[in-house]
Structure 1
Amino acid sequence: MLTPYQFASNTPIQAIDLDGLEAFYVQYGFRGSVPLLANGLGVTASYNIGVAFDLDKNIGVYQTLSLGGQQGIGLTLGGSGGINWQVNNIQDMEGLGVNVGGFIGGPPGVSLPFEASAELTLNPKAEKVSDLLSGFNFGIPSIPGITYDASIYGEGAYTNFSGITNLGDDYLEFSKSFNKMINDFELNLDHKLKNINLDSKKIGFDSKNFSNQIYNLLYEANLVPEIDLPEVIVRPEK
């Protein structure tokens, strides 16, 4: 919608979305922040796996790795979602990016829904200041999800897609890529949890059912079709 000011200033074209196709995404991942200096400055790193889609019915699975500087200490594990409005389709999300953000958790020993993470995505290819901000990501770690302590950070990130397809095309190829990415993520996540001495059962993470939970969410949102599996009969040996 154009405002009276935009008409009066003779700049209605600036309010029109010329790109046309924003990309939306949901993801699940892990972030850790470790101080190295007395003032709390240190490093942060994250790993996320997610599903992105656009208004042209493209959908794909991606992984994002990031590394940067931070102030604080803590970790977060959970789901989030966001939008990138500087892209024509989800393929434009692939490659290098710059993020600034932070997370905060509840006081130690207090069970409160006081945990959140937020992140802004910057466009390193921006030619003007108005194009610098390209999207945002926000999440309250769901169940399964945890957040300890707090951190603010700035970092570089790399996003890589696998299995991009259009929902009007053959679904089988995308399904295979999606399942492979989910399985790889489960193995990496279990390994990370063991390294930080966390019991995945205590935080409610069920790696065996994680891929089923993700697929059910996509199916309920009408993003993936129903899969009819053939009936398999197993006969016990005598």
Structure 2
Amino acid sequence: MMLYMCAYTFFIDLFQTTEIRLTPYPVVEGDHMTLTCYTSLSPLKQTELHFAFYKEGRSIQRFSSSNQHGDRCAQLEDSGNYSCEVKALNNNIKKTSKELHVLTQELFSKPYITAIPYPMVEEDHVALVCNTSLSPIRQETQLLFAFYRDGRDVQGFSLSDQYEVHSAQLEDSGNYSCEVRTSANSVKKRSEEISIYVQGTKHRRYELMNITRLVAAFVIYVACCFIAFKYC
């Protein structure tokens, strides 16, 4: 019994530390995220180690000779608590690391599309803008923008975050959306659609007529009030 305890203590002294680390840290969407399981093993001990990885207590990589997991583009859903486990093959003793909390930061916000001017009338010069904001720690990232009408491409990916219609026509009406991606296409996000209706010039004439009538009515009202006040 004493011999067994001494042998077990000797093994523990040689195989003490198990730690999981993340590179890069902090991790942002699109980064090549890699988890590494570190341990300390005395060079006097001749044994092969195998490593396993877990997320929220569930296996994501079974035991193998590789002490790394990942090297893929990180996504927001990769956030969570990770741990690793080391196993010595010759005696099947295992040691587990403490959990590491990983929070994948957003590279850029979900885009939203705006239209200037709004509402629109035929022959207006219209600009659709795709709005998003980059993470402060990835400001150097180059983003590309694309625009769609009714799900069809109207402007392919480019550096411009605007789509312009120099003389809007009735057929330019539709549901518009925009999409943003990195130049490496590692992260891509699309906005919600907005409905745009281009009004005819006849509608504008009616609006101008109504405005003219309102102005004229106001002028007549003021004049009548002035006359009534003068002769009171």
Larger RCO: 1 or 2 (CA < 8 Å, sep 6+)? 1
Which of 1 and 2 has greater Rg?
2
| TM-score in same-fold range (> 0.5) | no
Which TM-score bucket, shorter chain as reference? under 0.3
TM-score by length of 2: 0.24
**TM-score, with structure 1 as normaliser:** 0.24
